[in-house]
Chain A
Amino acid sequence: MNIKESAENLGLEEEEYLELLELFIDTGTTDLADLQSAVEKKRTEEVACAAHSMKGAAANLGLTSIFRIAKQIEEMAHKDMLDDALGAIRSIKNEMDLITNISKR
């Protein structure tokens, strides 16, 4: 993942982009926890909402893998098939850890 390129794509300075990433991780962590508890309680509507929000933010920042996984989760929720959702959430977590590492460098 190239920070500079992603920033340029958005028309932002590198620093501004990093600031957004940080914000994304901050809010994403709590969102993810919410998502997880919603999945565990099988509240599909909540799951769809949370995944949608995350999907939008990820798309805006060009974080394609998170965007894709969030989209999958949203679709799962719409189909009321949450069996694989927890695995997907873990993948998002991994992705976020990766971003954290990159942005800290």
Chain B
Amino acid sequence: MRAEKMDAIDQIFDCFTDPEKERNSLLSLVEKRLPGVCFQIVSNENPVVFKGQKFHPPLEEGDKTAEDPEKKNNDVRFKLPSGQSAYAVPLKKFNAFLFCEFPAESSDIKTIDSAMSVIRLCIDLFFSQKTVQDEQAFYKIQRKQLQRKFHVLEKKYQKILEDNHRGFQIIQKQQSNYSRKLKFEIARQTKELRRANDQLKENSNFQQKILDNAATAIFTVDPQCRITEVNKEFCSVTGFHKLEVIGKHCECLKGSPCEDSCVFRNFNSEKKIFKKQCEIYAKDGRKLTVIKNADRIYDNSGRLLGAVESFVNVTELIEARESAEAANKAKSQFLATMSHEIRTPMNAVIGFTDILLDTRLDENQADYAFTIKKSGQVLLSLLNDILDFSKIEAGELELEEIEFDPELLAYDVCELITPRIASKPIEILCRVGDNLPSRVVGDSGRFRQVLINLMGNAAKFTDSGEIILSLDIRDETEKLVKLHATIQDTGIGIPENRLSRIFNAFQQADDSTTRKYGGTGLGLSICKQISSLMNGDVWVESEVGKGSSFHFTAWLGKSKNNAVRRFEFGSMAEKKALIVDDNQSNLDILKHYLSSAGMEIKTLTDAERVPPTLQKSFDSGNPFHFCILDIRMPVINGYELAEQIRNPNHPFSNIPLIAVSSLLERDALKCKESGFDGLLSKPIRREKLFQAVRKILDDRKSETKKSEILDDHEINPYSFSIPEKLRRPASVLLVEDNPVNQQLAKILLTKAGYQIKVAANGREAIELFEASPGAFDLIFMDLQMPEMDGFEAARSIRRIEKKSVDDGQPPTVIGLPAGHSIPIVAMTANTMKEDHEKCIEAGMNDFITKPIKRELVFKILEKWVFNEEESK
């Protein structure tokens, strides 16, 4: 087929590609028609020699031909040199001429013309034939092309058909696959569903069993509160049959609309189960108290499906509890009354035993009487515990609101406990936090009771070592402070498995403890209860053989005078001191206190190293300003050490020495003899410590005074033991209406370390005094004031004092003796004698005249507060 095509192409292009062949076929055509004529075709581009002669178309003719397109087709006639006629007929399509040479014989024009016509016709014929041939060839080509295209399209069609068929086959195959899979899947899922369904049935069966078995009444409701399901217990509690309640509104149980017990109305937290105690009615009208739990049920999309509620009938339980509580309360009440009633005769027993002991008794009798007294005291403390305990149980313990100084209280407790460890080698230390407020408001008695109890415990269970009472502030709000007391001992400790039970009433760590150490086991329980009344806690950390730490926290009110205690450090800053004690804790505490005053402190536990240390510091030109020495130390005691230091051979022999001794062992005379300048008792109060140090340093500063002291070295060992009243800063009530005078007095007294409260007139003064009669040490009273003048106020105060004595009311504040009367000092601008007399008449003790002079004020304070005993 391909070969065929090639032939056809050859045929098509034959006549075109070969102009020579065409020319020849034209020549043969004309030669055949006119045999006598000689023909030749000559190309324009390549003129050829014609009949041995170079043919040159006459230029003229040629130009004409070129210029006149009309004549272009015209034949050119010319005569050959031989005389023969010749014609050149233009062959435009060949870009050539046809030369015709007629024989010489036929020179007749007519013949030649007719011959020329024949020649022209032949030429036309030839070209017409040629055109036809071209057309034919073209159509032939077209046909062949179309045939080819058709063929191609046919093939394509065939291919598409084939593709379609294949695609159809694939789809068919896939379809059959899918359908097979589908069938399989349906079968599988059906099977699974069937299994799940079985499981569900089983579960539901199981759940129904659980529901019916539950000892709790359970029912479910739809969102409209209609009961949808109940269990057997529900029926047995309420007496309703299942069919009686299903479909009914759940309020049929209440008889009235559920207000606050409806889970739909009162449930706002999504997390907690709704819990409520409420009352329902059984079928027979009995009122039941139930505790119900309820929770709402949602489907996965969060739509509310209803709620499930369960309840327990606690009617009987509540009745039982109420009666038990009542019985317990009655018991506590009885105990309280009883112990109170027993206390009175017990006090008489102890009191008369005391009197008995003062009479002349022989040794045995005294011993018996002493035993009676001791047992009586034990019994009394036991009674007190029981009384407290039953008071707390009966909910009768109410806390008082008194302003007190927690630091003072802590030291008081330490001093109170000291006699209990008299025979044992124990140090009692007290550590007060820097930020402890100087005044708090709360039940100081109960606070003290807890501390005494815990300290007493520590003293009881510790045979040697130390007991440290630490007191600090732990937390603070706008109105409250949280105090934290820690009582740390080096006693026997408590086994871990007993730690939890020691706070239970009538429980001690071990029954054998009771036998060995005595006690009721009520103390800690009382502490716990008191602490919880104060919104705090009591807990313990302990290790057997190492000791225990009891913690006590309590929230107390803030006093208006809430400031942290400020001490006057005076000349103490940057002074150097050496502290010697074998007890590291005591060293730490003293060092901390004195460092806070800006002092440089060195501590030593080993007395032997003291003289070398002093020598070294003396040599270095930076000697110590004073030493604090503990009296009870191993190897070398404080007295011996002081004597060593005072050896006149030492360059430092005149260094001031302060002795530290426990309260019971203090021996002022021996201290003086050993060369001490001052004596402090343990536990050391910050205030006393600073006062003593200040005094020592001040004495040293003024050289003249020092030489006097050195001369007749008469120290008053009690110079640093401050009267009981001064353990807290003296508190003054100023009654004065003029704000200028108020402010002046405030500044003067505060600067001198007094606490001051101001009343603007007599009435306010009485109110303040009545609210806390023991809170003040002295009253400064202006005479002329609006509302109530000073005379009347003084008279009223005396009346109040007298009344409280007559009523036999105990003094409100510890340390305030009955019949005590507060010094009232008049302040007057008048110097007239009758005014003074009027003051004394009104019950005042003294007077000062304005203007207020500082020295005068301090003299008065000294007279009426500091030396109260002397002035009486």
Q: Is A60 an interface residue (CB 8 A)?
A: yes
B744 touches A59 (CB 8 A): no
Q: Chain B residue with minimal CB distance to A71? A: B829
B743 touches A19 (CB 8 A): yes
B841-855 interface mask toward A, CB cutoff 8 Å, 1 = contact, 0 = none?
A: 000000000111010
Q: Which chain B residues lie closer than 8 Å to A20 at the CB level?
A: 740, 743-744, 747
A10 touches B854 (CB 8 A): yes
Q: Is B689 an interface residue (CB 8 A)?
A: no
B732-758 interface mask toward A, CB cutoff 8 Å, 1 = contact, 0 = none?
A: 000001111101100110000000000
A52-75 interface mask toward B, CB cutoff 8 Å, 1 = contact, 0 = none?
A: 110111011110000000000000
79-95 of chain A: CB within 8 A of chain B: none
Q: Which chain B residues lie closer than 8 Å to A61 at the CB level?
A: 740, 744, 851
A56 touches B743 (CB 8 A): no
Q: Which chain B residues lie closer than 8 Å to A49 at the CB level?
A: 784, 786
Cα-based distance from A21 to B475 in the complex (angstroms): 40
Cα-based distance from A74 to B850 in the complex (angstroms): 16
Q: Which chain B residues lie closer than 8 Å to A53 at the CB level?
A: 737-738, 784
A57 touches B854 (CB 8 A): no
Q: Which chain A residues lie closer than 8 Å to B748 at the CB level?
A: 10-12
A52 touches B739 (CB 8 A): no
Candidates A11, A12, A24; contact of B740 at CB < 8 Å: A24
753-789 of chain B: CB within 8 A of chain A: 782, 784, 786
A57 touches B747 (CB 8 A): no
A60 in contact with B740 given A12-B747, A16-B747, A55-B829 (CB within 8 Å): yes
Cα-based distance from A59 to B490 in the complex (angstroms): 62
A23 in contact with B739 given A56-B829, A59-B850 (CB within 8 Å): yes
A60 touches B784 (CB 8 A): no
Cα-based distance from A85 to B854 in the complex (angstroms): 33
Q: Is A100 an interface residue (CB 8 A)?
A: no
A27 touches B744 (CB 8 A): no
Q: Chain A residue with minimal CB distance to B752? A: A11
Q: Chain A residue with minimal CB distance to B852? A: A60
Q: Which chain A residues lie closer than 8 Å to B741 at the CB level?
A: 56-57, 60
User: Using a CB–CB distance below 8 Å, which chain A residues touch chain B?
Assistant: 10-12, 16, 19-20, 23-24, 27-28, 49, 52-53, 55-57, 59-62
Q: Chain B residue with minimal CB distance to A52? A: B784
Q: Which chain B residues lie closer than 8 Å to A28 at the CB level?
A: 740
Cα-based distance from A30 to B185 in the complex (angstroms): 103
Q: Chain A residue with minimal CB distance to B828? A: A56
Cα-based distance from A15 to B829 in the complex (angstroms): 26
Cα-based distance from A23 to B784 in the complex (angstroms): 20
Cα-based distance from A37 to B211 in the complex (angstroms): 91
Q: Which chain A residues lie closer than 8 Å to B743 at the CB level?
A: 19-20, 23
8 CB contacts below 8 A, A to B, read: A24-B740, A49-B784, A56-B829, A56-B850, A57-B738, A61-B740, A61-B744, A62-B851
Q: Which chain A residues lie closer than 8 Å to B737 at the CB level?
A: 53
Q: Which chain B residues lie closer than 8 Å to A57 at the CB level?
A: 738, 740-741
Q: Chain A residue with minimal CB distance to B855? A: A11
Cα-based distance from A100 to B741 in the complex (angstroms): 18
Which 10 A-B residue pairs are closest in the complex by CB-CB distance?
A59-B851, A57-B740, A11-B854, A60-B851, A24-B740, A56-B829, A57-B738, A56-B850, A27-B739, A53-B738
Q: Chain B residue with minimal CB distance to A70? A: B829
Write the nearest CB–CB distance from A12 to chain B, whole angstroms: 6
Q: Which chain A residues lie closer than 8 Å to B782 at the CB level?
A: 56
Interface size class of B (residues with CB under 8 A): 10 to 19
Q: Which chain B residues lie closer than 8 Å to A59 at the CB level?
A: 829, 850-851
Write the nearest CB–CB distance from A61 to chain B, whole angstroms: 7
Cα-based distance from A57 to B736 in the complex (angstroms): 11
Write the nearest CB–CB distance from B555 to chain A, whole angstroms: 37
Q: Which chain A residues lie closer than 8 Å to B850 at the CB level?
A: 56, 59-60
Known: A10-B748, A60-B850. 19 other contacts (CB 8 A): A11-B748, A12-B748, A19-B743, A20-B743, A23-B740, A23-B743, A27-B738, A27-B740, A49-B786, A52-B784, A53-B738, A53-B784, A56-B741, A56-B850, A59-B829, A59-B850, A59-B851, A60-B852, A62-B851
Q: Which chain A residues lie closer than 8 Å to B786 at the CB level?
A: 49
Write the nearest CB–CB distance from A71 to chain B, whole angstroms: 9
Q: Chain B residue with minimal CB distance to A55? A: B829
Q: Count how many pairs of residues, one from A and one from B, have CB atoms less than 8 Å apart in the complex.
A: 52
Interface centre among B739, B744, B782, B850 (most CB of A within 10 A): B744
Cα-based distance from A22 to B784 in the complex (angstroms): 23
Q: Which chain A residues lie closer than 8 Å to B744 at the CB level?
A: 10, 12, 20, 60-61
Cα-based distance from A81 to B851 in the complex (angstroms): 26
Q: Chain A residue with minimal CB distance to B857? A: A11
Q: Chain B residue with minimal CB distance to A31? A: B738
Write the nearest CB–CB distance from B835 to chain A, whole angstroms: 12
B738 touches A56 (CB 8 A): yes
Cα-based distance from A71 to B760 in the complex (angstroms): 22
Write the nearest CB–CB distance from A74 to chain B, whole angstroms: 9
Cα-based distance from A49 to B787 in the complex (angstroms): 12
Cα-based distance from A16 to B743 in the complex (angstroms): 10
Cα-based distance from A49 to B784 in the complex (angstroms): 7
Q: Which chain B residues lie closer than 8 Å to A27 at the CB level?
A: 738-740
Cα-based distance from A50 to B111 in the complex (angstroms): 178
Interface centre among A11, A28, A62 (most CB of B within 10 A): A11
Q: Chain B residue with minimal CB distance to A27? A: B739
Write the nearest CB–CB distance from B710 to chain A, whole angstroms: 32
Write the nearest CB–CB distance from A47 to chain B, whole angstroms: 13
Write the nearest CB–CB distance from B274 to chain A, whole angstroms: 63
Q: Chain B residue with minimal CB distance to A21? A: B740
719-734 of chain B: CB within 8 A of chain A: none
Write the nearest CB–CB distance from B589 to chain A, whole angstroms: 34
Interface centre among A12, A23, A53, A56 (most CB of B within 10 A): A56
Cα-based distance from A95 to B500 in the complex (angstroms): 76
Q: Chain B residue with minimal CB distance to A54? A: B738
36-77 of chain B: CB within 8 A of chain A: none
817-872 of chain B: CB within 8 A of chain A: 829, 850-852, 854
Cα-based distance from A16 to B744 in the complex (angstroms): 9
Write the nearest CB–CB distance from A6 to chain B, whole angstroms: 11
Cα-based distance from A27 to B737 in the complex (angstroms): 11
Interface centre among B743, B851, B854 (most CB of A within 10 A): B851
Cα-based distance from A28 to B741 in the complex (angstroms): 12
Cα-based distance from A105 to B21 in the complex (angstroms): 141
Write the nearest CB–CB distance from A2 to chain B, whole angstroms: 17
Cα-based distance from A60 to B850 in the complex (angstroms): 7
Q: Which chain A residues lie closer than 8 Å to B829 at the CB level?
A: 52, 55-56, 59
Q: Which chain B residues lie closer than 8 Å to A52 at the CB level?
A: 784, 829
Q: Which chain A residues lie closer than 8 Å to B747 at the CB level?
A: 12, 16, 20
B101-113 interface mask toward A, CB cutoff 8 Å, 1 = contact, 0 = none?
A: 0000000000000
Q: Which chain A residues lie closer than 8 Å to B784 at the CB level?
A: 49, 52-53
Write the nearest CB–CB distance from A64 to chain B, whole angstroms: 10
Q: Chain B residue with minimal CB distance to A59? A: B851
Cα-based distance from A10 to B748 in the complex (angstroms): 9
Q: Chain B residue with minimal CB distance to A48? A: B784
Cα-based distance from A49 to B786 in the complex (angstroms): 9
Q: Chain A residue with minimal CB distance to B849? A: A59
Write the nearest CB–CB distance from B27 to chain A, whole angstroms: 147
Write the nearest CB–CB distance from A96 to chain B, whole angstroms: 12
Q: Chain A residue with minimal CB distance to B737? A: A53
Q: Which chain A residues lie closer than 8 Å to B852 at the CB level?
A: 60
Write the nearest CB–CB distance from B756 to chain A, whole angstroms: 15
Q: Chain B residue with minimal CB distance to A26? A: B739
Q: Chain A residue with minimal CB distance to B782? A: A56
Q: Which chain A residues lie closer than 8 Å to B854 at the CB level?
A: 10-11
Cα-based distance from A10 to B744 in the complex (angstroms): 9
B290-314 interface mask toward A, CB cutoff 8 Å, 1 = contact, 0 = none?
A: 0000000000000000000000000
Write the nearest CB–CB distance from B733 to chain A, whole angstroms: 18
Write the nearest CB–CB distance from B369 to chain A, whole angstroms: 59
Write the nearest CB–CB distance from B737 to chain A, whole angstroms: 7
Q: Which chain B residues lie closer than 8 Å to A24 at the CB level?
A: 740
Interface centre among A27, A28, A53, A55 (most CB of B within 10 A): A53
